[in-house]
Chains A and B, each alone.
Chain A
Amino acid sequence: MTDIPGLPSRRSFLKGSAAGVALSALATSASAEKAEAPVSLEDYKREFLNDAEWAFVMAATARLIPSEGDGPGAIEARVPVFIDRQLAGDYGSAEDWYMEGPHDASASPQLGWQTPLTPAEVYRQAIPAFDAWCSKTHGDVFAGLAASQQDEALTALQNGDVELQPEVRDFFSILLANTKEGYFADPMYGGNHGMQSWVYIGFPGARAAFREWPERHNIKYPLGPVSISGERA
């Protein structure tokens, strides 16, 4: 398994993880093209997020999908890179959505997206608001808190206990959805680094050819994933 350059503190987790061992065993037969080591998260050239936002996204995704335990965490999977690129692209700008006014951000949540803000604007406005709440409640911005305090703060955000303007009330659910997207999407979008999230759960990625498998009942599919670009793990 590749180390995450720039994050030496994570190395021990990865090397020691049971998943890491299982993965390399699986991968031996199929391992072919090894992806070039990517630029470290510290040196990554961001497309959308500013310094404070990046610090928040790094810290928050690391708690939403932590590195501890089996399987990669959001940091090993490079989820923050995925989020930055998505926010810089047509998802971040809500290009496909109907965004004309009038807007009623306080409408019933069951009526769906009603804020005038795009996803990128929700991040831009919600992060400072949440950081201000963290400072007031816990004495520091989110990224500066201890892990247990971060979990408490995220739980408060999830439960609606952090007072936010209705325009950004869905921030937690957007952040969580984007984090899981980055964890499981094809690696070409910047996350799911090395397809280790797919390896962890046993999803074969873009193989998409199982002609002989429907009637192999109750037998676990044995092959590791491939990506759209042809990478194997």
Chain B
Amino acid sequence: MARQEKKKDVVIVGLGWTGAIAGIELAQDGLEIVALERGPDQSTVPNFKYPNQIDELKYGVRLKMMQKLSQQTVTVRRNEDETARPYRKLGSFLPGNGVGGAGTHWNGLNWRPMPEELKLKSYVIENWGEDIIAEDMTIGDYPVSYDELEPYFTQFEKVAGISGYAGNLNGEIREGGNPFEGWRSEDFPMPPLPRTWDSQKFHDACIASGYHPFPAPAGIASTAYVNPYGMQMGPCNFCGFCERYGCYQYSKSSPQTTILDALKRKPNFSYRTHCEVLRVEMAEDGKTATGVTYFDEEAQEEVFQPADLVILSSYQLNNVHLMLVSGIGEPYNPATGKGVTGKNYAYQMNGGISMFFEDDNFNPFVGHGANGTCIDDFAINQIDFGEEGFIGGAYWRSGTFNGQPIRNMPLPKGTPAWGAGWKEGIGRWYGHAMSIGSHGSNLAYANNYLDLDPNYTDRHGRPLMRMTFDWHDNDLRMNQFMKSKMEPLAKSMNPDIMQVGFKGPGAHYDVRPYQTTHNTGGHIMSETPQEGVVNRYCQAWDKHNVFVMGAGNFVQNTQYNPTGLLGGLAYWTVQAIRTQYLPNPRPLV
């Protein structure tokens, strides 16, 4: 029988971005809060300190900050005829591990969604009619609008310390910003970072082509900064070690740099590490949760933590898994379209062009994860879907990041993969290549979903979660559209050699190469309990004291990196808990 801990007002499952936000905001109401974290504790010092963190092999290649798949993983298949096999070795996506979660090792690209993306189904129907939505495409509207979320995007950006330049300030379009973005009530908390040579070249080519370049919105400090919690950040020195690393000098937005030290000072907040939550426990009436059961690694035993309010804020895949094994929401069944938990799993469709300039020096190690210049001229709200034959869009970016040689050694096509030719190639081309990336939407489909695997279990005997996912023609057509637009731009820059990498018709999902850690959906928000797992306040429809954070709430993925949207949604949710739920606990919709 499980040991029982003293009851708390709130238990938080997972201490990354959204768990830290829930903790610090709810702590203001005097609630007794405990956060449970599967992985180890992590702080800038000693865990990310210089020079130990500047280790490409350990962190970039052996991925020592990431989830240990031996502890927790999923199985993957591309379609229902295939037998799903475990994701045994990290590749395509990299969930984080430990305090700070994926917020410690991200690149820092902090985007808001476009207003149109949050009402995608209505936007498509109003402009082109329902007929252009394929039968198996399960896109919808978010049950919350951009205007409602705007104050919360702003709040998250102030906390996280985002650098950039507003292109739409209260409706005024400003040159040098993104003219196609949703309105901002305030400019970015910090000005943009300086431009590296590759992004300068890209910027100039975009201007010459009539596009609208702007600095990437960066969770990277451009100046000294103090956030609303009194946390201090220092300006980035372009060390180049962002993605897959913790920031050694307090420049990258993370729970460590922006929330955790302030949170740890709250006397009514505590956290326990190496505590893996196994399931949410339910009351006999089935309408509420009573707390969670976790495995205490140190004591090697199961522990029951009772609480009045349960906040699931682990990574999207782990949230959905917990809900499936705990019976939160009816599991989604693709054959009938009924059920909700596991529905609308989505990912990201990316492509790009590498360009080689023998006489240019790009110093690829000088950079940061959110470095560069972007354009949104091919964004979701800029494309005629009826004319082009797909629904979706992408932003483009060029800027040095991750210029470390084990993982980042672009070589012209035809260069041998080994031998004298390879060695000659690396000497000739390292530092002389730049790229433009296209980061695009991936919509929701009836047969891309998550459920429990029938064959594989974790070390606690729980079934692994099974991911059924493959690329769909709609998104591949979007990607080919981006290729057709990017090639002429790249050519206009006159590279000595260029090579194009965009998935096209017939491409299947491959778990081996890294793509993005932008796994979304599975516990989606909805207007009604028949369509999704949580309501517009990210409250479980069928368990009113369970609130769920993160990108699992996304109805379909956007064309952007997910952190800005999930950060805004976290503040929106916490505000609803504080002002509506705590005074009168009940279903809020």
Contact = CB atoms under 8 A, between A and B. Distances in A.
Majority SS at the chain B contact face: loop
Nearest to A65: B423
A29 interface: no
Contact of B51 (A98, A181, A218, A228): A228
Contact of A203 (B69, B248, B371, B430): B430
Nearest to B371: A214
B123 interface: no
Nearest to A72: B423
Interface stretch (B379-387, B414-422, B542-550): B414-422
Contacts of B50: 208
A102 B55 contact: no
A71 B417 CA distance: 16
Nearest to B84: A111
Nearest to A209: B237
Contacts of B422: 65
Interface residues of B, number: 70
Majority SS at the chain A contact face: loop
Interface stretch (A38-46, A125-133, A135-143, A194-202): A194-202
A59 interface: no
Interface stretch (A6-14, A47-55, A183-191): A183-191
Interface string A133-164: 00000000000000000010010001000000
A36 interface: no
B420 A209 contact: no
Contacts of A94: 89
A179 B51 CA distance: 24
Contact of B511 (A99, A111, A180, A203): A111
A34 interface: no
Contacts of A179: 418
B510 A110 contact: yes
Interface string B195-214: 11100100000000000000
A186 B55 contact: yes
Interface string B72-116: 010011100011011111110000000000000000000000000
B85 A111 contact: yes
B56 A220 contact: no
B223 to A, nearest CB: 12
B55 A228 contact: yes
A215 interface: yes
Contact of A213 (B78, B90, B366, B455): B366
B283 interface: no
Nearest to B83: A104
Contacts of A19: 427
B297 interface: no
A201 B86 contact: no
Interface in A39-85: 63-66, 68-71, 73
B194 A209 contact: no
Contacts of B361: 218-221
A107 B61 contact: no
B91 A112 contact: yes
A73 B558 CA distance: 46
Contact of A210 (B54, B366, B431): B366
Nearest to B360: A218
A110 B92 CA distance: 10
13 contacts: A63-B419, A66-B419, A71-B423, A96-B69, A97-B88, A110-B508, A110-B510, A112-B88, A113-B88, A205-B54, A210-B365, A219-B361, A221-B361
